[in-house]
Amino acid sequence: MNKKIAFICLGSGSQAISGTEIQLFCLAKQLAKYHKQQIVFITAKNTTVPDEKTNIIHLSNIDLKKNIKNYILFPFMLYKSLLSANADIYISSAAGIESGLISMFCIVYRKHYIFRTASSIDCTNEKISQLGYFVGWFYKYCLKHADIIVTQSITDQTNLLKYHHRNSIVIKNGIHIPDNRSKIANKKYILWVGSCRKVKQPEIFIDLAKKIENEIFLMIMPKSSDLNYWNSVYKKIITVKNLRYIERVDQNQIQKYFDLSKILIGTSKYEGFPNVYIQACLASIPIVSLSVNPDGFISKYNLGLYSNGDINILKMQVEELLNNHKMYKEMSDNAYDYLISNHDIFMIGKQWKEIINNI
């Protein structure tokens, strides 16, 4: 595999990186092991990647601060980075104006473009409705012209074909699985990890902590660009005595918080395949998910409980897991077994290598 590859992962421009960025960097590191050339990873300015000690070139020259100057200059900053990368294949995962611009760049310069969907709504019309007419047009252009589209689940694959008439390849998210499994007997808290965005619905976790007073809850949630929303959420956090809050954890240290937790709670309205669910499986802890259950994997592999969007059921399921030790142990063991069979980055990297070689 000697084609030069560039990943574009701009995120929000904040120093805290998202699950999508973690996934793409993990994939970039794995592909670098097969690769004769260095891989380029393009991010926004001031973005810290999880691990700089690789043969990956990190370009971070795109300023995403919200002002008129940057809005005007954004296409030029993006194209400058794409030209600097000088890659044969460009890979990105953000449904927005940049995906359309990258697609145009690849057509003009006769490069190949692989687009990876990041969320279930990327595969329906809902994302385009959210983006609005102007930005939505660029995203539709990407969906029409990308050489290959990768989705995270069969459901997403089906919806992409239904709503956008594009075939796609399903490749699951991957994670590095250590040779020595970490098993911690003394679990300390119920965990929630995510960005401070309305789609993540952190208030539901805060309310859950209020209702289950005899358990310790831990929330890891970086500040978002919407400081008004973050302030409103933080004011609720500090009123709950049994809720601990950490604003930011380095990605190289985050897994230990999963290892020490009893249960992972997911409260998002929608996701792709949440990276935090994979991290929970690595820690051998059950997942209780309010509304996100890609391809029904939580129920299918019996590694947690799905609340089907009902907050009251979510609370009852958490209490049931805490009180039913047999169920808890079975789901904990199933979570790790599922991870080994489905998300090993070595296996996922081979799937990506195959489509890159065949492009």
- Confidence bin at 207 (pLDDT 50/70/90): very high
Task: Supply the pLDDT for residue 17.
Answer: 57
Task: Supply the pLDDT for residue 37.
Answer: 66
| Model confidence at 158: pLDDT above 90 | yes
pLDDT (mean) for 146-163: 97
Task: Supply the pLDDT for residue 294.
Answer: 95
Task: Strand 39-44: give its sheet, edge to edge.
Answer: 56-62, 39-44, 5-8, 89-92, 112-116, 148-151, 169-170
Cα 229 to chain centroid, rounded: 21
Q: What are the beta bridge partners of residue 112?
A: 89
SS3 217: strand
Q: Half-sphere exposure (CA, 13 Å, Cβ side) for 24?
A: 30
Convert the pLDDT of each residue in 303-326 to its tens digit.
Answer: 999 999 999 999 999 999 999 999
Domain limits of the chain? 5-174+344-358, 189-342
The residues near 197 (Cβ < 8 Å, ≥ 6 apart) are 224, 226, 229
**For the domain with range 5-174+344-358, which CATH number is right: 3.90.1150.10, 3.20.20.210, 3.40.50.2000, 3.30.70.380?**
3.40.50.2000
The residues near 351 (Cβ < 8 Å, ≥ 6 apart) are 171
Tokens (6 digits) for 25: 């960097």
Q: How far apart are CA 215 and CA 301, in angstroms?
A: 27
- Pick the closest to residue 201 from 281, 322, 279, 289 (CA basis): 289
Task: Supply the pLDDT for residue 52.
Answer: 54
- CATH number belonging to domain 189-342: 3.40.50.2000
- Confidence bin at 67 (pLDDT 50/70/90): confident
pLDDT (mean) for 206-221: 96
**Which pTM value belongs to this model?**
0.90
Fold equal for 5-174+344-358 and 189-342: yes
Q: How far apart are CA 329 and CA 286, in angstroms?
A: 9
| Model confidence at 146: pLDDT above 90 | yes
Task: Supply the pLDDT for residue 53.
Answer: 55
Tokens (6 digits) for 219: 């929330």
Q: How far apart are CA 305 and CA 320, in angstroms?
A: 10
- Confidence bin at 225 (pLDDT 50/70/90): confident
Task: Supply the pLDDT for residue 336.
Answer: 94
Q: What percent of the chain has pLDDT over 70?
A: 94
Q: How far apart are CA 150 and CA 351, in angstroms?
A: 11
Cα 254 to chain centroid, rounded: 14
Query: What is the C-alpha radius of gyration for the chain, rounded to an integer number of angstroms?
Result: 20
- Confidence bin at 182 (pLDDT 50/70/90): low
Task: Say which DSSP state 193 is in.
Answer: E
The residues near 129 (Cβ < 8 Å, ≥ 6 apart) are 136
| Phi-psi region at 16: left, alpha or beta (left = phi > 0; alpha = psi -120 to 50) | beta
| Model confidence at 63: pLDDT above 60 | yes
**Residue recorded with tokens 């070139």:** 57
What is the pLDDT of the chain when averaged over all its residues?
91
| Model confidence at 180: pLDDT above 70 | no
